[in-house]
């Protein structure tokens, strides 16, 4: 076994240790911890072990314990809020919270990983939370949910994750009889988590008093567990197909001896088993109502207690149909009809029906898988194996689709089992891999090298709202990149730098991570100042940006944090059929001419108090200023893309704008000359 070669043999009892190092899989549906046992003297070394008592449903509920009047809450301090909740409320975590979910759904929170580190109130996922926690949503640079109607107490996804991590920590310490030990941990996140979501996960660990050694991507962790724990793994290229409760990740890795190199990664943070649960719930309910047309559908839909109960049964039905062909949902005394009589909800569902519901979701994963292979410049025939991770991969339909799309072309059925690897429990592999990463960091595991990648392109905003890439997707981390920029206007003293993450050429379609201002630039002609921007991406995928003006050595630092306002996310985008290259041309040239106009307008305002300009000049400046403001608004609305391209690119609008600004500049300079300025 490979692990025997890699573990550094230290013989001491964990009972004497004052520190516990965990690998934690912080999941959407369930969370789990593992560790590498410390060996007693003269004993053999051990592989990472799942701490069975730590398996915890990722759900947290709250109930009143004390009088809540007079309690102050500070939404700028999650630690304070976390402690207030612990002190003043009964907090139920895991199975206990699951038990109260039907009776108290508005104060019970599940699957919050799907919105951790996000601020988008128009997001489709967030819409479902608004529906469940009706009128209980407030936004203050984060998504907060109000607890109880008469309370000022609020929670967000980070706080919920903090409680889950606290529970896992407590269970792990109890299972290992190490109650007084400090806890370090490697915590897993979806590979496609952006900078804000990773930072939010670190904050959740801090709330739980866990020292997070490293954030590791879930498919990378799974690959570590398959590669290190299983015998006879060959060198070559592997794909990790990770479909969990709330997210989908695909990673392509190359194993060369003890070197694990991630070649590419992709995913969808809004695609997981929970989506299928909702589809099953709605399908079964519609089927039931068609057979019982005397029941008012709206009354049932508004019965949140029953709808949540039906959702739980739908999940159990999905799990059961992974190894059976039929399943039954049976809920006695489910709800009352219009006559006040209790209705017994009972429906049978077949595996083929679930497969049909899952089809569009699985097709999305296949499309992302193919794109990831293309980005990594790997063809499917080169794959040594496809590793299956996440509870959803137990579903026979999913395995059939993976075989059909990535294995069956050049392989007989005899080879399927060799190509599709599910030897490690799909629910455990990510957690075990996190412990292996922890072992690498603490020195308990030697001679294994992990090379991970940046999942999303990082860049800054340039002319016209375009993104200038700095750190490309799939570059190895940690990494640092520097690039020089300059001013666009004479005597410009301030530069605002907006940082974005995503794959679109247009900033508006990417995630804004933050912004900062570099001021005090010496007053020089445009193009003379040299501004060096440095991007540092650490092993956790957390970004730190530094800007320096090289003539004065003036520096400005920004460590991006989760409270950064995400302005571009508050506008819901619609799909555009406009060629992105045409749109980029419009945005870039419009930005350049806007810059020229701003420089001219600055001079105009400088002389307005001392020079009497003609009415035509003043009117032209005001009109162009208003038009640029309107165009800026249109650029943020993708439904206007076609109109923008049609006007500026196809009907000569950009040329007319150019001529108009050039004429304004000529007339303006002529009047200045006439006034002997």
pLDDT at site 559: 47
CA 270, 273, 274, 280 dihedral sign is positive
- Compare 427 and 592 and report the one with higher pLDDT: 427
Cα 152 to Cα 16: distance, rounded to the nearest angstrom: 44
Same CATH topology for 1-216+427-445 and 273-356?
no
Q: Which helix (H) or strand (E) holds 646?
A: none
Inter-residue contact 498 to 522 (CB < 8 Å): no
Per-residue model confidence (pLDDT) at position 129:
61
The β-bridge partners of 459 are: 469, 500
Interatomic CA distance for residues 226 and 420, integer angstroms: 12
pLDDT at residue 252, rounded to an integer: 92
How far apart, in whole angstroms, are the C-alpha atoms of residue 131 and residue 173?
38
Q: Please tell me which residue, 41 or 401, carries the higher pLDDT value.
A: 401
CATH 3.30.420.40 fits 1-216+427-445, yes or no: yes
Q: Quick one: which of 182, 259, 260 has its CA closest to 217?
A: 260
| Confidence (pLDDT) at 446 | 77
DSSP H helices, 376-463, are 396-406, 416-419, 429-442
Q: Which two tokens stand for residue 50?
A: 């799942």
What pLDDT is attached to residue 23?
95
Residues 394, 164: Cα–Cα separation, whole Å: 25
- Only one residue has tokens 């429906």, namely 347
End-to-end CA distance of the chain: 85
| C-alpha of 291 from chain center | 41
pLDDT tops 80 at residue 208: yes
Q: What is the mean pLDDT of residues 548-577?
A: 53
At 225-241, the pLDDT tens digits run: 887 765 556 788 999 99
Label residue 566 by pLDDT band (50, 70, 90). very low
Residue-wise burial string across 617-641, b where 16 or more C-beta atoms lie within 10 A, e elsewhere: beebbeebeeebeebeeebbbbebb
Measure the CA–CA gap between 550 and 486, rounded to whole angstroms.
10
- Residue 293, both tokens: 């047309």
Please state, for a pLDDT cut of 90, what percent of the chain lies above it.
28
pLDDT the model gives residue 509: 82
C-beta neighbour count of 605 within 10 angstroms: 10
Does the pLDDT of residue 567 top 70, yes or no? no
Domain residue ranges in the chain: 1-216+427-445, 273-356, 454-569, 574-677
Instruction: Rounding to the nearest 10 degrees, give the CA dihedral for residues 425, 430, 436, 439.
Output: -130
Residues forming a β-bridge with 385: 238
H or E stretch including 28?
A: none
Tell me what pLDDT residue 598 has: 83
pLDDT at 330 over 90: yes
Q: Can you read off the two tokens belonging to residue 507?
A: 């900033």
Mean pLDDT of 193-222: 92
How many CB atoms are closer than 10 A to CB 365?
24
CB crowding 567-576: b at 16 or more within 10 Å, else e: ebbeeebeeb
36: its two tokens? 């590498």
CATH of domain 273-356: 3.90.640.10
Indicate the DSSP class of residue 40.
Answer: P
Q: Report how far residue 412's alpha carbon sits from residue 303's, in angstroms, rounded to the nearest whole number.
A: 51
DSSP assignment of 349-371 equals EEHHHHHHHHHHHHHHHHHHHHH
Per residue in 22-37, pLDDT tens? 999 999 999 999 998 8
DSSP 296-336: -HHHHHT-HHHHHHHHHHHHHHHHHTTT-SEEEEEEEEEEE
Q: What is the pLDDT of residues 632-670, one digit of tens each?
A: 888 878 888 888 888 888 888 888 888 888 888 888 888
Higher pLDDT, 434 or 64: 434
pLDDT band at 7 (very low <50, low <70, confident <90, very high): very low
Q: Residue 196's pLDDT band (boundaries 50, 70, 90)?
A: confident
pLDDT, tens digit (0-9, with 9 covering 90-100), for 91-142: 999 999 988 887 788 889 988 898 888 765 555 555 666 556 654 555 555 6
- Structurally, at CATH architecture level, domain 454-569 sits in Sandwich (2.60)
pLDDT at residue 267 tops 50: yes
**Run of H or E residues at 118:** none
pLDDT at 382 over 80: yes
- pLDDT for position 142: 64
Query: Can you tell me the distance from the alpha carbon of 291 to that of 303, in angstroms, rounded to the nearest whole number?
Result: 19
Report the alpha-carbon distance of residue 634 to residue 625 in Å, rounded: 14
Region of poorest pLDDT, from 157-166, 225-234, 253-262, 286-295: 225-234
Give me the helices (H) in 115-259, please. 124-132, 157-175, 195-207, 218-229
The more confidently predicted of residues 57 and 148 is 57
Please tell me the predicted confidence (pLDDT) of residue 676: 61
Each residue's pLDDT tens digit, 69-79:
767 666 678 88
Over range 467-474, report the average pLDDT.
Answer: 87
Q: Are strands 383-389 and 236-243 parallel, antiparallel or unpaired?
A: parallel
Quote the pLDDT of residue 42: 39
Q: Are 40 and 13 in contact (CB under 8 A)?
A: yes
Which range has the top average pLDDT, 8-12, 317-321, 423-427, 594-598? 317-321
Specify the pLDDT at position 571.
39
Q: Token digits for 655?
A: 């040329």
The answer, yes or no, to whether residue 576 has pLDDT greater than 70, is no
How much is the pLDDT for 164? Answer: 97
- pLDDT for 14 equals 41
At 13 the pLDDT is 36
**231 contacts 424 by C-beta, under 8 angstroms:** no
Q: What is the pLDDT of residue 201?
A: 94
4 has a pLDDT exceeding 50 = no
In this predicted structure, what is the pLDDT of residue 556? 64
Q: Give the whole-angstrom CA distance, residue 276 versus residue 318.
A: 8
Residue 357: predicted pLDDT: 95
């Amino acid at each position: 076994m490979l692990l025997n070669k890699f573990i550094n043999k230290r013989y001491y009892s964990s009972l004497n240790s004052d520190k516990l190092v965990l690998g934690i899989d912080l999941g959407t549906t369930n969370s789990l911890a593992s560790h590498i046992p410390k060996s007693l003297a003269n004993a053999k070394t051990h592989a990472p072990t799942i701490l069975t008592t730590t398996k915890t449903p990722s759900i947290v509920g709250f109930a009143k314990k004390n009088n809540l009047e007079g309690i102050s809450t500070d939404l700028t301090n999650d630690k304070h809020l976390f402690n207030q909740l612990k002190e003043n409320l009964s907090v139920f975590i895991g199975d206990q919270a699951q038990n109260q979910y039907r009776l108290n759904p508005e104060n019970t929170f599940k699957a919050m990983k799907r919105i951790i580190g996000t601020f988008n109130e128009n997001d489709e996922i967030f819409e479902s939370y608004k529906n469940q926690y009706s009128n209980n949503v407030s936004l203050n640079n984060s998504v907060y949910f109000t607890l109880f109607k008469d309370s000022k107490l609020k929670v967000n996804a980070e706080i919920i994750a903090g409680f889950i991590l606290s529970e896992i920590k407590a269970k792990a310490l109890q299972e290992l009889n190490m109650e007084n030990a400090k806890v370090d941990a490697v915590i897993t996140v979806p590979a496609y988590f952006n900078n804000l979501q990773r930072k939010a996960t670190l904050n959740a660990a801090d709330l739980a008093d866990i020292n997070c050694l490293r954030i590791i991507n879930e498919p990378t962790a799974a690959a570590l567990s398959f590669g290190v724990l299983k015998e006879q793994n060959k060198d070559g290229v592997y794909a990790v197909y990770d479909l969990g409760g709330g997210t989908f990740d695909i990673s392509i890795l190359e194993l060369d001896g003890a070197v694990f190199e991630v070649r590419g990664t992709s995913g969808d943070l809004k695609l997981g088993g929970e989506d299928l649960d909702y589809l099953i719930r709605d399908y079964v309910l519609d089927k039931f109502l068609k057979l019982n047309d005397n029941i008012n559908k709206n009354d049932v839909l508004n019965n949140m207690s029953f709808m949540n109960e039906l959702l739980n049964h739908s999940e159990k039905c999905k799990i059961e149909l992974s190894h059976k062909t039929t399943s039954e949902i049976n809920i006695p005394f489910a709800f009352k009809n219009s006559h006040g009589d209790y209705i017994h909800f009972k429906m049978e569902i077949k595996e083929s029906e679930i497969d049909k519901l899952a089809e569009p979701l699985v097709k999305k994963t296949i499309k992302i898988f193919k794109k990831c292979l293309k980005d990594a410049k790997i063809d499917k025939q080169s794959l040594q194996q496809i590793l299956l991770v996440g509870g959803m991969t137990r579903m026979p339909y999913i395995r059939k689709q993976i075989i059909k799309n990535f294995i069956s072309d050049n392989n007989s059925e005899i080879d399927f089992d060799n190509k599709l690897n599910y030897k490690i429990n799909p629910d455990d592999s990510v957690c075990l891999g996190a412990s292996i990463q922890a072992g690498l960091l603490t020195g308990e595991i030697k001679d294994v090298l992990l090379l991970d990648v940046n999942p999303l392109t990082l860049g800054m905003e340039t002319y016209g709202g375009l993104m200038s890439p700095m750190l490309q997707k799939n570059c190895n981390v940690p990494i640092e990149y520097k690039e020089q920029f300059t001013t666009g206007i004479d005597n410009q003293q301030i530069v605002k730098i907006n940082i974005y993450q995503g794959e679109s050429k247009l900033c508006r379609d990417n995630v804004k991570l933050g912004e900062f201002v570099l001021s005090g630039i010496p007053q020089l002609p445009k193009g003379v100042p040299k501004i060096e921007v440095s991007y540092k991406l650490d092993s956790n995928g957390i970004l730190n940006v530094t800007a320096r003006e090289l003539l004065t050595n003036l520096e400005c630092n920004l460590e991006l944090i989760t409270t950064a306002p995400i302005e571009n996310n508050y506008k819901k985008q619609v799909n555009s059929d406009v060629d992105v290259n045409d749109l980029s041309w419009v945005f870039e040239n419009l930005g350049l001419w806007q810059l020229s106009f701003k420089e001219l307008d600055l001079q105009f305002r400088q002389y307005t108090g001392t020079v009497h300009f003609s009415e035509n000049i003043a009117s032209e400046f005001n009109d162009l200023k208003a038009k640029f403001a309107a165009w800026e608004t249109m650029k943020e609305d993708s439904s206007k893309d076609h109109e923008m391209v049609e006007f500026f690119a196809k009907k000569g609008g950009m040329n007319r704008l150019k001529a108009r600004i050039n004429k304004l500049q000529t007339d303006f300079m002529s009047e200045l000359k006439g006034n002997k300025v």
